[in-house]
């Protein structure tokens, strides 16, 4: 056998649905890598003979290997801080009050419009490093803090640049319809036209986005406006997704499902009809426990209904300065279990196999199987549930990205 390297003395949480064990586990296993792909995996005793002197053999000391983690929903390119709003909320103001008074997303927009690309890049790089240290190998980054063509393009360029300069793969999402900028306060339709007829073509022309998203909410865009943007994005060849049912039930999820969205995200206020719509279209339900926690939401997402209708559940950080200033995908595992009562296995699936589905990259990453891209992490844990159980001492020991052992 000629591989590039092989790992022994490991257990594998493959998360492969074809393996019916919990976590798709293979204990006392081995995994071999060749040309950036998983060339072989299985029980150690079935490992084909190979020349131990011809390739590096890494020993996992009985730890667990999982697929590289995928954070399928972040807003990690932004400038400024909203700590003042945190203080205001502690004095009694709500997230919606602050948004309606011109703070919230708009305050980050003001900071981003002023920021140089180099500053945004450096801030983004530090955040990407923090995620990477915890085993993240793919991240989605949204724009949405520009709300004018120039700044939306700037944010997406920075996100693309981060992907080119970091071992973490970056998928970009155009979120021009994130909020109504002050210039269009009395002309929302005019802003939607700008998004569809000016921003979107520029973003497409420069190949800056893989997907498009809209914030469908009573403080942002209504159903008709949401449909306009999503349809235009889809016609331009982008995947679509939606911030839906975060603060109220607007029917956004059902609309997005009807259009074939990859995911709907937040969904605390989603009802059973909405869940059925997701099931019918194969749309993923992305839970964002960081935002639920930070906004002290009390409306639980409809977990039982998602299970009943077998909707793929994704878990993501939603890292952003307003509703989830928590730059840790790993912590989301714990929050998804403590706040939403997901099982640790469901939560881990939500940041691996199902997260890959939400980004449309499930043919390449998200599970450990022969032929998949060799993106995986070695954890110093004795059972996969430990990843969700405890937080603070980072158990991520090694990361292999595209078949290469990453030094970080």
Binding-site positions for Zn(2+):
73, 75, 243, 318
In the bound complex, what is the minimum distance in angstroms from residue 147's beta carbon to ligand NIG? 12
Tell whether residue 215 is a contact of ligand NIG (CB under 6 A).
Answer: yes
Provide the token pair at 221.
Answer: 């865009």
Cα 213 from Cα 242, distance rounded (Å): 5
Site for ligand NIG (CB under 6 A): how many residues?
Answer: 12
Q: Which of 24, 103, 104, 384 binds ligand NIG (CB under 6 A)?
A: 104
Selection from Fe ion, ligand NIG, none that 156 binds (CB < 5 to 8 A by kind) is: none
Tell whether residue 251 is a contact of ligand NIG (CB under 6 A).
Answer: no
CA-wise closest residue to 23 among 65, 71, 70: 65
Cα 252 from Cα 200, distance rounded (Å): 21
Provide the token pair at 263.
Answer: 């995911």
244 vs 306 by CB, closer to ligand NIG: 244
Tell me if 176 sits within 8 A of 144, measured CB to CB. yes
Candidate segments 9-17, 129-137, 313-321, 360-368, binder of Fe ion by CB under 5 A: 313-321
In the bound complex, what is the minimum distance in angstroms from residue 69's beta carbon to Fe ion? 18
Candidate segments 104-112, 122-130, 249-257, 314-322, binder of Fe ion by CB under 5 A: 314-322
In the bound complex, what is the minimum distance in angstroms from residue 99's beta carbon to ligand NIG? 8
40 vs 293 by CB, closer to ligand NIG: 293
Tell me if 284 sits within 8 A of 211, measured CB to CB. no
Cα 26 from Cα 31, distance rounded (Å): 10
DSSP state of 57: E
Q: Where are the beta strands (DSSP E) in 53-119?
A: 57-67, 69-71
161 vs 318 by CB, closer to Fe ion: 318
Numbered residues of the known binding site: 73, 75, 82, 145, 178, 243, 246, 318, 320, 322-323
Cα 248 from Cα 259, distance rounded (Å): 21
* 318-337 footprint of ligand NIG as x/- string (CB under 6 A): x-xxxx--------------
Torsion of CA 339, 345, 348, 353, to 10 degrees: -130
In which order are the strands placed within the sheet that holds 396-401? 37-43, 25-34, 5-13, 57-67, 376-379, 396-401, 404-406
In this structure, the strands spanning 69-71 and 211-214 are unpaired
Candidate segments 45-53, 103-111, 226-234, 359-367, binder of ligand NIG by CB under 6 A: 103-111
Q: Which of 318, 345, 346, 398 binds Fe ion (CB under 5 A)?
A: 318
Numbered residues of the known binding site for N-formimidoyl-L-glutamate: 145, 320, 322
Positions that interact with ligand NIG (CB under 6 A): 104-105, 108, 215, 243, 246, 291, 318, 320-323
């Amino acid at each position: 056998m000629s591989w590039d390297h092989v790992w022994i003395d490991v257990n594998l949480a493959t998360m492969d649905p074809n393996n019916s064990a919990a976590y798709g586990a293979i204990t006392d296993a081995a995994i071999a890598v060749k040309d950036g792909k998983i060339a072989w995996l299985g029980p150690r005793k079935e490992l084909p003979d190979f020349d131990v002197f011809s390739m590096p053999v890494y020993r996992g000391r009985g730890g667990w290997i999982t697929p590289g983690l995928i954070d399928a929903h972040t807003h990690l390119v932004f400038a400024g801080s909203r700590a003042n709003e945190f203080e205001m909320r502690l004095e009694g103001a709500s997230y919606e009050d602050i948004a309606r008074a011109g703070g919230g997303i708009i305050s980050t927009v003001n900071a981003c419009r002023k920021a140089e690309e180099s500053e945004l890049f450096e801030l983004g790089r530090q955040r990407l490093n923090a995620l990477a240290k915890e085993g993240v190998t793919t991240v989605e980054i949204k724009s949405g803090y520009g709300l004018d063509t120039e700044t939306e393009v700037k944010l997406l360029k920075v996100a693309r640049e981060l992907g080119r300069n970091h071992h973490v793969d970056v998928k970009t999402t155009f979120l021009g319809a994130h909020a109504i900028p002050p210039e269009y306060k009395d002309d929302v339709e005019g802003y939607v036209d700008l998004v569809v007829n000016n921003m979107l073509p520029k973003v497409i022309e420069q190949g800056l986005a893989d997907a498009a998203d809209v914030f469908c909410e009573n403080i942002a865009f209504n159903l008709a406006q949401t449909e306009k943007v999503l349809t235009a994005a889809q016609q331009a060849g982008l995947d679509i997704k939606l911030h839906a049912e975060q603060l109220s039930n607007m029917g956004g999820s059902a609309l997005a499902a009807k259009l074939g969205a990859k995911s709907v995200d937040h969904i605390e206020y989603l009802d059973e009809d909405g869940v059925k719509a997701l099931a019918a279209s194969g749309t993923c339900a992305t839970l964002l426990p960081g935002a639920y926690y930070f906004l002290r939401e009390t409306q639980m997402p409809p977990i039982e209904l998602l299970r009943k209708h077998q909707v793929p559940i994704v878990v993501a950080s939603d890292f952003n300065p307003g509703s989830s200033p928590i730059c840790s995908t790993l912590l989301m595992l714990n929050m998804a279990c403590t706040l939403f009562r997901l099982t640790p296995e469901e939560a881990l699936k939500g940041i691996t196999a199902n997260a890959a589905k939400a980004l449309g990259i499930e043919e390449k990453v998200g599970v450990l199987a022969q032929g998949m891209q060799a993106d995986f992490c070695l954890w110093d844990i004795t059972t996969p549930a430990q990843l969700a159980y405890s937080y603070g001492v980072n158990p991520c020991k090694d990361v292999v990205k595209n078949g290469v052992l990453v030094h970080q």
